[in-house]
Amino acid sequence: MKSLIIPSHAGLSRRALFRYSFLTTAAMLLGQRTGFSLPAEPVKLTAKAQAVIQIWLWGGPCHIDTFDPKPDAGHDFCGPLNEAISTNVDGIQIGRLLPNLAKQADKFSLIRSMTHENNAHETASYMVQTGHTEGERLVYPSMGAVVSLLKGYDAGYKGLLPPYIVLTEPQGRFSEAGFLGPKYKPFATGGDPAKTPFAVEGIVAEGISPEHQNLRRELLGKLDTLGRQFQNDPQFAEYRKCGDAAYDMILGEGAEVFDLSKESEELRNSYGRNTFGQSCLAARRLVERGAKYVTINYKGWDTHKQHFQTMNRKLPELDQGLATLLQDLADHGLLDSTIVWCGGEFGRTPRVQWEAPWNGGRSHYGKVFSTLIAGGGFRGGHVVGSSDARGESVVDRPVYPWDLTASMYELLGIDPDGTFPRTDDESVRLTPKIAGNVKSGGRLKEIM
Amino acid sequence: MRAIIFLLMGIAACPAAMSPAVVPFEKEPQKRLTPALSAALDNLVATKQKAAGIPRARPCSDEVFLRRVFLDTIGTLPTREEAVEFLKDKNPTKREALIDRLLERPEFADYWGMKWGDVLRVKSEFPVNLWPNAAQAYDAWIRASLRQNMPYSEFARKLLTADGSNFRNPPVNFLRSAGSREPAALAAAAALTFMGERVANWTPEKRADLAVFFSRVGFKKTGEWKEEIVYFTPPPADGTAPSSARLPDGTLVKIPPESDPREIFAQWLVYSSNSPFAKNAANRIWFWIFGRGIIHEPDDSRPGNPPSNPELLAWLGRQLQSAKYDTKQFLRIILNSDTYQLSPIPPDGKPRSGADLASYPVRRLEGEVLIDAINRITGTKEDYMSMIPEPFTFLPDDMRAIDVPDGSITSSFLELFGRPPRDTGLLAERPVNVTASQRLSLLNSKHILNKINNSRKLKDLVQSAPGQAEAIPLLYLTFLSRYPTSDELAAISAYQPPAASGKRQKLSDVAWALVNSPEFLYRH
């Protein structure tokens, strides 16, 4: 299996070396944080993708205003957003508030036939984030936690930051570690990347300058009366070594990766000087340094009221940040090894609710919705499946949440039909068995 | 040497005013009236050390003893008041008296209940599916048994032979926690827990033999949600069930059809002279006190892994038997020994494994003990959570981590500091190494920094002193259970935080440094 963490062959590229050194200098042996490291399932697949960036549009973005426009459906469906624009791929059109993404359409594909039929935020989020149905016996981990287990810790990941990182706030229990336990929870950065400094929890302590950090570190050394009695003791040497590694995070590489001022003003501006845009930039920097799964938790898509006003405000932000991310990943040679997917837990009712109290809002819609997917072995410039003329139901090639996660697992070199390594129970699978009520449209072979 | 004596006198006579110039961890060997059994223990250790040419550390100071014995018996730091009280006490038997008092404290059952919870896999979900209210009933039963000081022999028998509902007769949960309901899995759990042996090292025949004793255990559901009954299923009348079985020592015993073979095994386990029961129990307690078993790991007893001091282990097993499996009585022998009361500092400056008992083995505090200590000192609380919906779970706001009743209830801090997953019952599930992420959390996380910087309790403590200089000994007593040395006072006096930071910053920085010092982080 190919691994960027512990390169097994000589002749590393400069970039691979950079990742490698970040992970090793920043980290001592994490040790076995929950005691037992259980053997990973043997992975037989070749991994095309090494990392995932998930842009989570929490609340449920409207599919017909974004990736599945229906300009001919009329005012009751489109409201003021009644135009679609052409992209740099013949035959693919997207919503008119996404002009920058239109120039990147060769890099991504659109799934216009996502479906799970559930209109409740939490259940729908659970299904999309975990790739499992609601009715199973256990609470399953989100995909980020699974990747953190199988591509992270069990694959020898030793970084100080967990391999699963959320910018900036955690998404709540339906997107976390499930039965895997808190070790596999994402590291939520906190802070705001659009501000200087980006106060990342544990790394950048607000109110303590680097100078003050150094003074405190010196004081700690002077007050270590017990440690001075154990100059040659391996346990105390380990304590000091771990302290050095921790300070590398606080004053060195950890602070560095989150220091977005290291990027050019031009690039920062093209991402958009807002929390979302700068989160996209931080995501690229993290993936570049070996993070395995980065989620940008982008809130504010639950637009029951003031839907179109919100779209006018948010879509240009999404457009700018995501389009720049795709271009920037490609420029850094990272797009081929990084899956980027963008979507929410469901779509929104195609028919606009003009009546009070909504006054132009859209409600939850799990029957059909869209997801954008790019990189890491997914081909760009394609559309998977379709919805009907008003975006109300799937016309062909339904894609269920587990079809999507299974496809991503496959490209990550993880067997989607495998069982979790902590159990021998064959029913505890990475993706559910397709039978009975669990329907499937199959993996996204057409774009893999 | 004179300096050390001066230090001891100084502390006893006049606390805050005089600060010792030297390291406050050990003292000169003195004549001491060691209780007879403890002295016998010391002889067994010394004989072995002499033969192997192993040097021995000096006795530990009162400060070190106080902190150590609190942590080892009740998993709780002494308060500042308790520290002052003990340090000024001139009674020559004050250590013995303190041991007696601590063993009777309610936190003894809390702390040892946590240890037993790891071994007995008290966890509601995955892969040990006890379910929340059964896990909590099980936990409550374990702690109540410890509180009553139930003899260990009785404790073990109940766990092995109990019948009934997982909610109403909690020890039945021992067999439910084995991971599988197969007789072989139940037998494996019994061998691991009460014999300290891993059946993977046994011959298939021996494994099959022990499984026979667990072949009549039945499990059935009831109408109540998640209730399960553990019961004896009589053998089928067709005579296919084995009528005899071989005990782990090779003895063939008859199994009458009307009796539960678990009883026969339990009887042998507790009473046979061939049973490793007492030695295993003694060794596990030794491990809990010294961080290393005489057989190590204590749950990996096998011919290829002999005890480092067989005479000592045999003697300890006999002591536990003659104390009628009274764990506290047994602990008194260990805690009053000179061996337990050694300085942590290796006598010849060479690092040692702990197996040779040249000095007290230093090791990191458990995550639970550490966060409880930080919370109590700062007067702050912790949020615990469970991965699963727990309708029967009520966690009081001020719950301590050592009291958490279920391995599925946890916090990020506990996970970071290596809370055992309680999947296997193996003692090695609890790591005691330090990691860079742990240090990062203590050095710089908002979680810990807020506790220190915003602590009302620390603010009040500092303000109770007439000035900053007088506040330092109060902080030292609170965090490290001792007075500062003159070197430490000088370092603090010379320390200047950046001018821009507030007035309280200096003391805040000192408190932060103490929390991050190995002396706080490691039992020593």
Per residue in B32-66, pLDDT (tens digit) is 889 999 999 999 999 999 999 999 999 999 999 99
pLDDT score for B237: 86
Q: What is the mean pLDDT of chain A?
A: 87
CA gap A296, B221 in Å, rounded = 45
pLDDT score for B387: 59
Report the range of poorest mean pLDDT among A198-202, A272-276, B509-513.
A198-202
pLDDT score for A28: 30
pLDDT above 70 as % of chain B: 94
The predicted complex's ipTM stands at: 0.92
CB B485 within 8 A of CB B23: yes
Q: Which residues of B touch A242 (CB under 8 A)?
A: 434-436, 438-439
CB A374 within 8 A of CB A365: no
Domain membership of residue A287 (yes or no) is yes
Range of the domain at A352: 14-29+39-204+258-447
Q: For residue B2, what pLDDT band results from cuts at 50, 70 and 90? A: very low
Cβ pair B436:A247 closer than 8 A: no
pLDDT score for B275: 97
Mutate to test the interface with B, among A230, A247, A251, A423 (most CBs of B within 10 A): A230
CB B419 within 8 A of CB B410: yes
Q: Which residues of B touch A211 (CB under 8 A)?
A: 498
Report the range of poorest mean pLDDT among A298-312, B120-134, B413-427.
B120-134
Instruction: Kindly state the tokens that stand for A85.
Output: 């624009």
Domain membership of residue A337 (yes or no) is yes
Mean pLDDT (whole number) for B495-524? 92
| pLDDT of B270 above 80 | yes
pLDDT score for A297: 94
Nearest CA in chain B to A176: B387
Report the range of poorest mean pLDDT among A68-77, A151-160, B28-37.
A151-160
pLDDT above 90 as % of chain B: 78
Q: Which residues of A touch B439 (CB under 8 A)?
A: 239, 242-243, 245-246
Cβ pair B514:A223 closer than 8 A: yes
Cβ pair B491:A202 closer than 8 A: no
Domain membership of residue A306 (yes or no) is yes
Phi and psi, residue A365, nearest 5°:
-150, 100
Exposure string for B412-441, b = 16+ CB within 10 A, e = fewer: bbbbbbbbbbbbbbbbbbbbbbbbbbbbbb
Cβ pair A246:B521 closer than 8 A: no
CA gap A102, A93 in Å, rounded = 8
Per residue in B125-169, pLDDT (tens digit) is 766 778 888 999 999 999 999 999 999 999 999 999 999 999 999
Per residue in B358-409, pLDDT (tens digit) is 999 999 999 999 999 999 999 999 988 875 655 556 778 889 999 999 988 8
pLDDT score for B19: 60
Per residue in A275-288, pLDDT (tens digit) is 999 999 999 999 99
Domain membership of residue A220 (yes or no) is no
| pLDDT of A36 above 90 | no
Which pairing describes strands A108-114 and A84-86: parallel, antiparallel, or unpaired?
Answer: unpaired
Domain membership of residue A409 (yes or no) is yes
Q: Which residues of B touch A236 (CB under 8 A)?
A: 518
Nearest CA in chain A to B126: A179
pLDDT score for B179: 80
Mean pLDDT (whole number) for B254-272? 95
To the nearest whole Å, the CA of B324 is away from the closest chain A CA by 34
Domain count within chain A: 1
Question: A184 or B507, which is more confident?
Answer: B507
How many A-B residue pairs are in contact by the CB < 8 A criterion? 196
pLDDT score for B71: 98
What long-range pairs does B104-109 form, CB within 8 A, spacing at least 24? B105/B73, B105/B74, B106/B147, B107/B74, B107/B75, B107/B76, B107/B402, B108/B73, B108/B74, B108/B146, B108/B328, B109/B143, B109/B144, B109/B146, B109/B147
Nearest CA in chain B to A216: B509
CB B178 within 8 A of CB B188: yes
Cβ pair B431:A201 closer than 8 A: no
Domain membership of residue A160 (yes or no) is yes
pLDDT score for A16: 34
Q: What is the mean pLDDT of chain B?
A: 91
Domain membership of residue A237 (yes or no) is no
CA gap B470, B283 in Å, rounded = 45
Cβ pair A226:B524 closer than 8 A: yes
Q: Which residues of A touch B388 (CB under 8 A)?
A: 139, 179
Report the range of poorest mean pLDDT among A335-344, A355-364, B285-294.
A355-364
Q: For residue A37, what pLDDT band results from cuts at 50, 70 and 90? A: very low
CA gap B377, B83 in Å, rounded = 14
Per residue in A172-207, pLDDT (tens digit) is 655 577 888 777 888 889 899 999 889 898 898 888
Mean pLDDT (whole number) for B448-471? 94
CATH number at residue A316: 3.40.720.10
pLDDT score for B350: 81
CA gap A200, A190 in Å, rounded = 6
Per residue in B74-113, pLDDT (tens digit) is 999 999 999 999 999 999 999 999 999 999 999 999 999 9
To the nearest whole Å, the CA of B448 is away from the closest chain A CA by 9
To the nearest whole Å, the CA of B513 is away from the closest chain A CA by 5
- Look at chain B and count its residues: 524
Mean pLDDT (whole number) for A367-375? 98
pLDDT score for B412: 83
Mutate to test the interface with B, among A33, A419, A420 (most CBs of B within 10 A): A33
